Amino acid sequence: MSNLYNSILITGAAGFIGSALSLRLLEEKYNIIGIDNMNNYYSIKLKKDRVERINKNLENLQGSWVFQKCSIDSKEDLNQIFKKYSPDLVVNLAAQAGVRYSLKNPNLYIESNIKGFLNILECCKEYKVKRLIYASSSSVYGSNKKIPFSESDTACHPISLYASTKRSNELMAHSYSHLYNIDSIGLRFFTVYGPWGRPDMAPMIFAKSILKGEYIDIYNNGEMSRDFTFIDDVVEIILKCIQKNNSLKSKFDFDISDPSESFAPHKIFNIGNGKPIKLMDFISHLEKNLEISAKKNFMELQDGDVISTHADISKIQNWIGNHQMTSFEKGINKFVQWYKNYYYPNY
């Protein structure tokens, strides 16, 4: 398949999804400009190692790769990137992540997730970008009780500032899509995990504590579940969204309000596995793969946490064609093998 775009800008390219996507697109012979602000929200070494992983593989890849340190918070710096490289597709994965961190540092979320995203939209407008794909989050569903979460459900009751910024991104992208005819796709990610993952998420936190013989904190006394989505599946779905050539405009009936459809060239999709895993089953799989029993500290539900997530993924499957999702058993095994090799090479 011939590539539809001359060059692709990936923001957050040193991040978990961004680095994995960059590597995959290079395999498909795309020309990639990666940017990241390399902040210290979590290990900078891990971010550098992700970039180095790409650099080490370049001789076996046919796409081109440029990486620059740049923050989307800076309109001036971002403008220079667009001016120099003229990307015709943007995948925005840069954001201040973390539900709990947003309770302590709200200003960071406004700067990056609102101001930074506005800068992305303005550059897409000014430089005539053909398509924008951006990261949203399952957290936008907030306190919804209907399971599984569908894109046609309301997303008007977020329970964290992080979720509010992600829902704001969807509304901002929709308005720019309408006003400036920018094809835009928002992806609501459901608990992405796997090799090279984020240290602030449960798989890394729990694996670290279990191997060190420390207690793991289990919130809501273990009565929780998550729709864990393996990184390889996320990357393949984004690739298919990039390769999808048809217009994003839909027939829109104002008398039948469906938040997932629009008169603008803008779509929103859930990206999940579709098979939620109970928290205690997740811990059991980790214990089995690590061959160590966890010390458990049961606690009450935290502010900003939702009890369960479960993605209805029929819309994305219908749009890109059926994609076979990785089983949790296979995914968690791959994660544990990477984790031990990366952090405990002599384990």
Which H or E element spans position 215? strand 215-218
d(CA 42, CA 47): 9
Whether the bond into 148 is cis, omega within 30 of 0 = yes
| Catalytic residue flag (residue 162) | yes
Question: Which residue among 5, 42, 109, 162 is the active-site one?
Answer: 162
Strands 225-226 and 183-189: unpaired
d(CA 289, CA 283): 10
d(CA 229, CA 343): 22
Nearest to 63 by CA among 21, 92, 12, 93: 21
d(CA 204, CA 221): 20
The answer to whether 115 touches 73, Cβ cutoff 8 Å, is: yes
The answer to whether 11 touches 36, Cβ cutoff 8 Å, is: yes
Q: Is the dihedral of CA 111, 113, 118, 124 positive or negative?
A: positive
Torsion of CA 95, 283, 325, 276, to 10 degrees: -80
The answer to whether 225 touches 309, Cβ cutoff 8 Å, is: yes
Q: Which residues are catalytic?
A: 162
